[in-house]
Amino acid sequence: MATRGHGHGHGHGGSGSRTRVGRYELGRTLGEGTFAKVKFARNVENGENVAIKILDKEKVLKHKMIAQIKREIATMKLIRHPNVIRMYEVMASKTKIYIVMEFVTGGELFDKIASRGRLKEDEARKYFQQLINAVDYCHSRGVYHRDLKPENLLLDASGVLKVSDFGLSALPQQVREDGLLHTTCGTPNYVAPEVINNKGYDGAKADLWSCGVILFVLMAGYLPFEDSNLMQLYKKIFKADFSCPPWFSTSGKKLIKRILDPNPATRITIAEVIENEWFKKGYKPPVFEQADVSLDDVDSIFNDSARREVGPVGPVAPVTMNAFELISTSQGLNLSSLFEKQGLVKRETRFASKSSANEIMTQIEAAATPLGFDVKKNNFKVCGCPFCFMCSPSVT
């Protein structure tokens, strides 16, 4: 649910043919996914810029995703905090669902590191305080993010941190009887050991681990756990095998070591982090309104069509998978090219298949060549070890 973007909206062409949705005039596309696109829009009543996530009802119904979409919307509606992307309203036409969200213009926090290198400790602390405020608030609402990573940390025009993408979050009713979450998700480098372990985990503790990795990256300019081999990376995460660079202050090092504790039972809690001396320096508790939120509109957007979604009642596995879920299902993939350089993680799309490499390549070539793509085979082979399937065609 990215609402990142730069600059403000278009000027108005003389044709006056802009698409209107309710009181919003739609502009350029900011991002596109399988089930949704995000467009820039302007509220014509007050001139405010927003981002509108547009979902195709048919696709949602076809893929039995009503539960997931409702969950995403309900989650966003429950959250009202200065450091979390705000959701204003939900509307629907016969064929589309429109989710109106806050539009953030400052780009990703990690673009700052990419362009300027690591942050000074005071600046890193300021962002970390805002991140902890946001995450602590979400937990108090029974919402766990479970996928905290650089792309989800946006900045507004005044440099205020905003956490986005609660699409993977779990509402209380999704917590198993043992009070633990059981969905493996997240980005390997930022993910807590107990999540990888798939033994059931406490969402709050797992989110805090990710915050610890983010704090390390802000202050160091590189990741605490890095390895070109996925199994080695997991081993490092399980043992919390990392070391702090010499420029970290002693109290900063101490806090990071308490957060990146591989045992969730002894890991510091968010309440304890907020009381920590290093954390408290220059800390301003957040000021925000308490919201009484009605979720009626969330149900009503599907009322005319919900009955057509037949099938077993109960949670339906979402059709979308992130890289990490994919890794978990394929007994470990060798993601060496994801981690080519020490530093921030490259974005790629990967998949696993039961078809042979040659069949896959033939299909990719057939689909890609007419579109003007060039398909290169990077010396692919199937390896005999029980963990890895290495095949890396690239389409350029």
Q: Residue 160 in contact with residue 82, Cβ under 8 Å?
A: yes
Beta strand pairing status for 161-163 and 153-155?
antiparallel
Taking the C-alpha atoms of residue 142 and residue 131, their distance in angstroms, rounded to an integer, is 17
Alpha helices (H) along 260-304: 270-275, 277-280, 296-300
What the block records as the tokens of 284 is 């301003």
147 belongs to the catalytic site: yes
Q: Give the H/E segment covering residue 20.
A: strand 20-21
Per-residue b/e over 310-319, b at no fewer than 16 CB within 10 Å? eeeeeeeebe
* Rounded-to-integer distance, Cα 225 and Cα 214, Å: 11
Task: Provide the β-strand partners of residue 201.
Answer: 181
d(C-alpha 151, C-alpha 217), whole Å: 13
Q: Annotation-wise, does 53 bind a ligand?
A: yes
| Calpha distance 262→217 (Å, rounded) | 18
Say if CB 154 and CB 129 are below 8 A apart.
no
Q: Would you state the structure tokens that stand for residue 75, as one six-digit string?
A: 């989650």
Distance between CA 113 and CA 127 in Å, rounded?
13
Phi then psi dihedrals of residue 255, to 5 deg: -65, -45
**Which residue, among 351, 287, 357, 286, has the nearest Cα to 323 in the 3D structure?**
351
Neighbours of 226 (CB within 10 A): 16
Size of the chain, expressed as the number of residues it contains:
396
Spatial separation of the C-alpha atoms in residues 190 and 212, rounded to whole Å:
9
Of residues 111, 122, 136, 147, which has the active-site annotation? 147
The string of DSSP letters for 195-230 reads HHTTS-B-HHHHHHHHHHHHHHHHHHSS-SS--SSH
Extract the annotated binding site for ATP: 53
Binding annotation: 53
Q: What are the catalytic residues?
A: 147
